[in-house]
Structure 1
Amino acid sequence: MFSRSVLRSLAADLRWSAPSSISSAAPLQQRACLHQTALLRTSQQETQTPYSPLSPETPLSATPRVQNSQPVAQNPPRVPSSDSALSFVPQTRADVPTAKQPVAPSFESPIQVTKSLMSRLPHLVGQSPHYVVAELHARPYLLTEGDHIRLPFLMPKVKSGDILRFNRASAVGSRDFTMKGSPHLDERLFECRVRVTGVESEPMRIKEKTKRRQRHTKQARSKHRYTIMRVMEVRVKTPEELLEEGAVVIEDSEDTPTIEARQ
C-alpha cells in the first residue's frame, strides 16, 4: 500500500513538472531552428546562383546582351483574312467541300426529244419569265424566279446559303406556251435552283387534354419550324444545249413531253 501511494505522488510530480520544462525549452529550440534554416538557405543561394541580374546589388544596364544561340525561324500558320475568304472563288471541284458538291447524274441513256418539241422549244425559251410546277414530297409548288417558299416542314441536313435544285416537275411554261410531262418532265430539259435563306418558327401552341371522369388536365406544347427558300433561277434549255448534251431526236409519241400553245 505504501509503495502505491509513493508511485502516485511521483507520477503527479512528473506530470506537473514536465510541461513547464518542455514549454521553456521549445521557444529556444524553435528560434535556433529558424536561425539555422535561414543561414542554410542564404548559403545555398550564394553557392548555386552567384550572379543574379535581377538582384538589387547589380545595377540595370540599357545595353543589350550578346545572344549566343540564334532563334529558329518558324513559319506561322496561315490564317486567311476575312477579305480573302470572301473573295475566294473555287476554280475546280476539288476546292469545293464534299458536302457541297452536286450529286452526279445517273442516266443510262441520252434524252429523247421529239421533232415537234424541238421546233416549238425556241418559242418557249425566247419568251420569259418562265414558271415551273415543281413537286417536293408529292406537293406541287408553282414557282417563278424571285419567289419565296415556306415549306410546311423543316428540311433536314440543309443550312442557310445552300443551293438546291428541284428536278421533279410536271410542267414548265411561259405566258403563251406550256411544256407538259407525262407525268413528269425529264430534269435535263429545265433548271430550277433555289437558295435556303433560313428557318422560321411559329409561336408556342399549348393544347389542353382532358379525359372523362378525371380531374387531371395535361398540356401538350408544340412549336414547329419551317424552312424558307428563295427561287434563284428558272430556265429552259435551248435546242443547241440539248444537242450538245447528246439528245436524240425521235418521232412523236404519247409518252414524250409536248409544248402546247395557250389559246
Structure 2
Amino acid sequence: MFSRQALRGLFSVERVASQQPILSYASRACLHQASTTNSSSQNFQATPPEIPPSTSAAAVSIPPSASQTSTSPIPDATQQSTTTSTSDGHFINGIPRTKLPLPPLFDSNLKITKSLADKLPYLYTQRPHYISAHLHDRPYLLTEGDHLRLPFLMPKVKSGDILRFNRASVIGSRDYTLKGSPYIDERMYECRLRVLGVESEPLRIKEKTKRRRRHVQRIKSKHRYTILRVMEVKLKSLEELMEDGAEIIKEGTILEEQGADVIEKKDAPSYLIVFESILSVISISRL
C-alpha cells in the first residue's frame, strides 16, 4: 500500500509530463504563424496599391436619364390607400355610398295598357293596400305596419337598414287587385322594410340512435332569424307614372309572350248576394 504523499507525487509527475508537449506544440505553431506572416508581408509589399476611379469619370459614365429617374418621386402605398379610402367614404344625403341601393336598369319606358290606366285611379284611392312580395321564390302577404320574421338569417344586414322588395305578384285593396304576369313592374310600386334585429328560437335537442346500438347522440340546434317591419307599401298614381315616362298603349300591341298587368274587380261574396235577395223579397212582401 502506497502512502498518500507517494501517490500525490506520481500524479504530479504525470501531469507535468503531459503538459510539456502541448506547450512545445503551441510555441511551434506561434513561431510558424509569425514566419508565414513575415514572408507574406514581404511578398505583397511589391504589388502596387489599387487606385479608386475618379469622380469625373463616374459622372461621365452615368447617363442623365438614369439620374433623373432615380430622383423622381415614387408614390407610397399609404398615400394611395388614403386617397382611395377618402374617395370611397363619401356620403350622399347623410348615407354612405356603399349603403345606397343600385339603380335599376331598364331598356325601355314603362308601358301601360288603356284598361290598366282607366282602373288604376280606383285602386290608388282605395287604401290600405296589401302586397304579395316574393323573396327567394317565396311569397309573403304584407301590409303596412306588419312584422315579418324571415325563415333564415339574412347576411350583411344590420338593425336599422332599409330594404326594398322589388318583386311582387299581387297588389290589391278591398275591391281591386293588380296582378302581374308573372311579376308586376317594380316602377309601379314601392315596398320598403326596416331591419329590426335578430331573433333566436329556443334550444332544441334531438336524440338520434341506430338500430342495435346503445349509444344515443344528442344534437343541439338554435337557429336565428331576421326580423323586419313593413314601413311603406305605396302604389304610384297614374300622374306619377306619366312623369316618370310611362306610355299608354293599346291592348293588342303588347306581345302575348311578355304579358301585361291587369286590374281585376272582386265579385261580391255569395252570402251577400243571398242576403240582398232576401231583403228585396221582404221589402216586396211588405208592399
SS in 1 for 2:163: strand
Deviation of residue 3 (structure 1)? 11
Counterparts of 1:141 and 1:241, CA distance in 2 = 26
Counterparts of 2:158 and 2:169, CA distance in 1 = 27
Counterparts of 2:214 and 2:97, CA distance in 1 = 57
Give unpaired runs (5+ residues) of structure 1.
9-91
Counterparts of 1:95 and 1:117, CA distance in 2 = 38
Give unpaired runs (5+ residues) of structure 2.
10-90, 268-287
Segments of 4+ moved more than 6 angstroms: none
- 1:162 maps to which residue? 161
SS in 2 for 1:121: helix
Distance 1:214 1:245, change over 3 A: same
Deviation of residue 4 (structure 1)? 4.3
Counterparts of 2:143 and 2:3, CA distance in 1 = 123
Deviation of residue 99 (structure 1)? 2.6
**Larger proportion of helix:** 2
Matches within 5 A, 1:50-65: none
Counterparts of 1:162 and 1:179, CA distance in 2 = 29
- 1:260 maps to which residue? 264
Counterparts of 2:177 and 2:4, CA distance in 1 = 132
Distance 1:218 1:3, change over 3 A: closer
Q: Which amino acid aligns with 2:133?
A: A
Counterparts of 2:203 and 2:4, CA distance in 1 = 95
SS in 1 for 2:229: strand
Q: Percent identity?
A: 60
Q: Which amino acid aligns with 1:142?
A: L
Aligned residues: 182
SS in 1 for 2:227: strand
Structure 1 or 2, whichever has the larger Rg, is 2
Counterparts of 1:152 and 1:122, CA distance in 2 = 36
Q: Which is worse superposed, 172-181 or 208-217?
A: 208-217
Superposition RMSD on alpha carbons, in Å? 2.4
- 1:112 maps to which residue? 111
Deviation of residue 93 (structure 1)? 2.2
Deviation of residue 109 (structure 1)? 1.1
Matches within 5 A, 1:17-32: none
Deviation of residue 100 (structure 1)? 1.2
Deviation of residue 2 (structure 1)? 11
Counterparts of 1:204 and 1:3, CA distance in 2 = 88
- 2:101 maps to which residue? 102
